Amino acid sequence: MEQSSQTPEHTDRFCVPNELGFYGPYGGMFVPETLMTALFEFEQVFKDAMADPVFVAEYRALLRHYVGRPTPLYHAQRLSEYCGGAQIYLKREDLLHTGAHKITNALGQVLIAKRMGKTRVIAETGAGQHGVATAAAAARFGLECVIYMGRVDMRRQALNVFRMNLFGAKVCPVDSGQKILKDAVNEAMRDWVTNVRDTHYVVGSALGTHPFPLVVREFQSIIGKELREQYKEQLGRLPDEMAACVGGGSNAMGFFYEFLDEPSVRMVGVEAGGHGIVEGQHAARFAGGRMGVFQGSLSYVLQNADGQINMTHSVSAGLDYASVGPEHAYYRDRGRIEYGYATDDEVIEALKILCEKEGILPALESTHAIAYALKRAPQMSKDQILCINVSGRGDKDVHTVMESLGIKPEDLVECE
Ligand SMILES: *Cc1c(COP(=O)(O)O)cnc(C)c1O
């Protein structure tokens, strides 16, 4: 195991965010003043809870017995052979309860909500994964749960709507704007401003107003903490490179955070390239965005020359968002984390390859990082290690994949 270099100068990570939630120029609290008290209270209760051994023990026990942590670190031998370069390892967040990394954060925030004496939680959801995770955690603790979801997304993800209903959550359709995720966020904020006394808003990614980027990253950083032990035990060293997909940025931040001070580890975030980097056709904020304020914080935003938010597109709903968590913007500018993107076509191809080589069906979001690995591993040598975060499983995406491949259910051939 390499010695941790412990040089805060290298990343400044111990200096950010400041008390107003700024990571360098990014982040902040761009919200109505009625929410400021609730946000400061949330931050304080969160910090107290994380310093309380009783709270931490309860959370850890639930992560183990309810959520299914720690997740394995798996050597994808056939995929590595196929690529003919680096040894590819997969962090298996796809094996978690409700199907993705999101439950780790949703459960953490529900516990904080309970600690604050709140009786009701609300959340926004796009594909439905964060809604399902929040509904499950709320059911587990008997809290009332309301999920805001764009009408268009509800139609696309009807199965997840029903899963939320089964967990006792009410799903409110949002008919404003494009009727997708960003519109659901606006509606959830409206609810929160009105009901802030008894309600906590469980934000689903490391974005939005302070302290959410901090809180969500802290909960998700368990991914990297598990990896540090797994690297030591299974590899005897750190990997040469780590890559993860970036929507809001929570699975990537949780995966990278522990290793930011390890200069020998290269880090790459992979965004949604959609149909290519043409305005309105993708969600690669670092490839086509610029500084702006959107939904609570300052970060890279996809916007037109007048500052209007652009339409976005990705085959994966979970990456289809016009802004990105402020901490990513900060490390991107500092050059500590590099960012690339994968297109829809590359993602569908990569999904088929992982299925065929390893018998693992990844979420379309996570497959962006797999697509990157397929390109990157052949450029590396056989004694090098590339670790990929598989943030979720692809069961929810089977319909989309069939559609992308132009396959209809009646086309499925039977064995003679
Ligand atoms: C929601 C989701 C993402 C994107 O969110 P991040 O906050 O960027 O992690 C990625 N993968 C899966 C499986 C998801 O459900």
Query: Which pair of structure tokens corresponds to residue 22?
Result: 């700024």
**Does 197 have pLDDT greater than 70?**
yes
Q: What is the pLDDT of residue 300?
A: 98
Where residue 364 falls among pLDDT bands split at 50, 70, 90? very high
Q: What is the pLDDT of residue 2?
A: 41
CATH topology of domain 20-63+102-216: Rossmann fold (3.40.50)
- CB atoms closer than 10 angstroms to residue 203: 29
Q: What is the pLDDT of residue 11?
A: 65
- State how far the Cα of 245 lies from the Cα of 183, in Å rounded to an integer: 23
Do 248 and 206 contact (CB within 8 A), yes or no? Answer: yes
- Pairing label, strands 144-150, 120-125: parallel
- State how far the Cα of 270 lies from the Cα of 98, in Å rounded to an integer: 23
Q: How many CA atoms lie within 13 A of 355 on its CB side?
A: 16
**Does 5 have pLDDT greater than 50?**
no
Closest by CA to 290, choosing from 298, 302, 280, is: 302
Atom number, ligand 1, closest to the C-alpha of residue 366:
11
* Whether the bond into 326 is cis, omega within 30 of 0: no
Q: List CB contacts of 171: < 8 A, sequence separation 6 or more.
A: 131, 146, 147, 149, 154, 161, 164, 165
18 alpha carbon – ligand 1 mean position (Å)? 26
Q: State whether the beta carbon of 205 lies less than 6 angstroms from ligand 1.
A: yes
Q: What is the pLDDT of residue 10?
A: 54
- CB atoms closer than 10 angstroms to residue 378: 12
Where in the chain do CATH 3.40.50.1100 domains reside?
20-63+102-216, 69-99+220-404
| Average pLDDT for the chain | 95
Summarize pLDDT for 131-148 with one digit per residue, the tens: 999 999 999 999 999 999
Reply yes or no on domain 69-99+220-404 having CATH 3.40.228.10: no
Cross-strand bridge partners of residue 405? none
**Does 1 have pLDDT greater than 50?**
no
Token pair 């976005």 is found at 312
Where residue 219 falls among pLDDT bands split at 50, 70, 90? very high
Query: Which pair of structure tokens corresponds to residue 268?
Result: 């790459």
Q: List CB contacts of 57: < 8 A, sequence separation 6 or more.
A: none
415 alpha carbon – ligand 1 mean position (Å)? 36
Query: Which pair of structure tokens corresponds to residue 87?
Result: 């040894």
Q: What proportions of the chain, in percent to the nearest 5, are helix, strand and coil?
A: 50, 20, 35
Mean pLDDT of the 175-201 span: 95
- State how far the Cα of 172 lies from the Cα of 149, in Å rounded to an integer: 6
Shortest-distance Cα residue to atom 1 of ligand 1: 318
- Pairing label, strands 73-75, 87-92: antiparallel
13 alpha carbon – ligand 1 mean position (Å)? 23
**Does 252 have pLDDT greater than 50?**
yes
Q: State whether the beta carbon of 324 lies less than 6 angstroms from ligand 1.
A: no
What is the signed CA dihedral for 8, 10, 2, 231, rounded to 10 degrees?
Answer: 90
For ligand 1, pick from 95, 129, 251 the residue to mutate: most ligand atoms within 8 Å of CB: 251
- CB atoms closer than 10 angstroms to residue 52: 13
Q: What single letter denotes the amino acid at residue 23?
A: Y
Summarize pLDDT for 73-91 with one digit per residue, the tens: 999 999 999 999 999 999 9
Q: Walk across the sheet containing 22-23 and list its strands.
A: 22-23, 26-27, 297-301, 290-294
Residues annotated as catalytic are 102, 124, 391
- State how far the Cα of 98 lies from the Cα of 341, in Å rounded to an integer: 26
Where residue 3 falls among pLDDT bands split at 50, 70, 90? very low
- State how far the Cα of 102 lies from the Cα of 69, in Å rounded to an integer: 12
Do 318 and 289 contact (CB within 8 A), yes or no? Answer: no
Summarize pLDDT for 291-350 with one digit per residue, the tens: 999 999 999 999 999 999 999 999 998 999 999 999 999 999 999 999 999 999 999 999
**Does 401 have pLDDT greater than 90?**
yes
